[in-house]
Structure 1
Amino acid sequence: MIHHISIAANQPQYVAEVLAELCQGQAIGFPYHEGSYIALTFDPHGTMIEVFPQGTELKPGGEVGLSCHPQASRCNAFHAAISVSTSEAQIHQIAKREGWHVQTCDRKGFFSVIEVWVENQQLLEFLPPTFAAKYLAFSEPQSLKQFVSMITND
């Protein structure tokens, strides 16, 4: 189980506040990394989303540094799926208000997610309760084994 993730944003405080709203939680300053913030979800798993300033690098040995890579892409391969109690309509409304790309995506009938592109560069997938139930049913060990068997026999 993943309990927290970290992402980078151009406006870390603001992004943490919007993510907290999407999760019906609260944003606070990250006490150990100035300029960084945490969106607390207050769910039973202790889920948190840390938001660092764009250009932050985590390095071995616990070092956190801020460096600028002008040629680096603003997009990356990281994303996370997060269960929330917020409704599909609320998620769309909040993301649209922020000018962030948002869409509900069907994952080949297995489950659906709501893709929210934070600052139009970082993908987070949100699962309101009905979406989460279908995702959890899909991710049960027996269901995953059937899925693996199906795709490896193609």
Structure 2
Amino acid sequence: MTRMSDDYANLTELLNQVVTATGDFHKSLSDRPVGARKWDVVSDIELPAQGVGSSEALREFLARHGANLSGSVGPRFLGYVTGGTTPAAMAGDWLAAAVDQNAASPGDSAAVAVAVQTLDWLKQLFNLPVDAFDGAFTTGATGANFASLLIAR
């Protein structure tokens, strides 16, 4: 059985494995269909009695599902909202997950200041009056749509 402390001890190696898997995935985008070709039922997998560690879990995931991941991140996907992740957005997402800051409470970290600055830049980018709008970042498109429905109501 592995422990989380084992994963932390090998964190750099694990993250390098993820970087390699991500690079391989992006290199294969032109050959991947934008929709899944086949769907393997995952309900036939029993819950393991013991953990295998993050590296082995990543290896098992890629072996079982890697070939059937769609190319929705690429330019050929024309779905609603999903797809088109840029390298900078991916790096920012990874960093946000890695440092796991609370951007909802001023005084907890620099994350609140970064969010406020980003909102100010968006106002400048879209030529919006600086004092006329406030804002908040949501969890994503689904959260944004839900929030807009609540506000409109």
Normalised by the size of structure 1, how large is the TM-score? 0.22
- Give the number of the structure whose residues are more often helix, by fraction: 2
Highest Rg: 1 or 2?
2
Normalised by the size of structure 2, how large is the TM-score? 0.22
- Give the number of the structure whose residues are more often strand, by fraction: 1
